Amino acid sequence: MAHYFQFITSSQITSIIIQPPEEDAWQQFMLPVDNYTFKSRSRAHWETQIVTPNTWSRVLSLTPNKWKQYWKILSNAKQQHPYRLEELHRVQLGHRRHYPPPPTDGVCHLCLTSIDSTDYHDHLYLHCSISKVVWQKLHISLPQEWITIIANYNLNTTQLLLLNRYSHIIHQLYSLRRLAYKEGNVLDPLTLPLIKNWVSYLSSSL
Ligand SMILES: [Zn+2]
């Protein structure tokens, strides 16, 4: 069988971008207003109630103060680069821990190895052999660990943009492969040249 991705068109790709349930409110609420806050929160509210995504805070022992510092650098970067950090923002908020959902057959749709579906998010972004290739091709000079990605306020804008690109590519690739599987296609292994083409193609849309 010919490789599925060799025949998918650009219009097909843009038509199946998966949106989280919160998408309707996203543009309204998540644009930065100033150096400290996003549109949905006044400065006064921000200073008394910092957004602290529960799961990440628990898993990585992140304090409200760390989140506060991180939201500040993200807000600054989003003002410099409108609409180019949205995927990373969603990852930080925890959206991508739940959506899109895990594969139903217990096999990673990217690397085609058996995985624990309760752990698929960690596998997809940190441990998958395909994700590691993407990480390397983007020349991200950080350990591929959540602690370097989530609420890391020491990152500069270039690093934030690279992590956004990485998150975007992984999310899009997984969504495409998941859809192909649901439609009954046999998922052929992703080869290095194919991954390189996808990295180039999906990067160009950011
Ligand atoms: Zn995998």
Residue among 149, 148, 107 nearest 128 (CA) = 107
Ligand 1 centre to CA of 39 (Å) is 36
Ligand 1 centre to CA of 169 (Å) is 14
Ligand 1 centre to CA of 69 (Å) is 32
Ligand 1 centre to CA of 82 (Å) is 31
What pTM did the predictor assign? 0.81
What amino acid is encoded at 40 in this protein?
S
Burial-class residue 89 by CB neighbours within 10 Å (0-12, 13-18, 19+): buried
Ligand 1 centre to CA of 107 (Å) is 8
| Lowest-confidence pick of 28-42, 89-103, 108-122, 178-192 | 28-42
Ligand 1 centre to CA of 160 (Å) is 23
Dihedral pair phi/psi, residue 114, rounded to 5°: -70, 135
pLDDT-derived band at 28 (thresholds 50, 70, 90) equals low
Q: Is the per-residue pLDDT at 8 higher than 50? A: no
Measured CA to CA in angstroms, residue 149 lies from 34, 103, 126, 202 at distances of 23, 24, 10, 20
Distance CA 44, CA 41 (A): 8
Q: Is the per-residue pLDDT at 201 higher than 70? A: yes
Burial-class residue 24 by CB neighbours within 10 Å (0-12, 13-18, 19+): exposed
Question: What is the tens place of the pLDDT at every residue in 12-25?
Answer: 444 444 444 455 55
Q: Is the per-residue pLDDT at 11 higher than 60? A: no
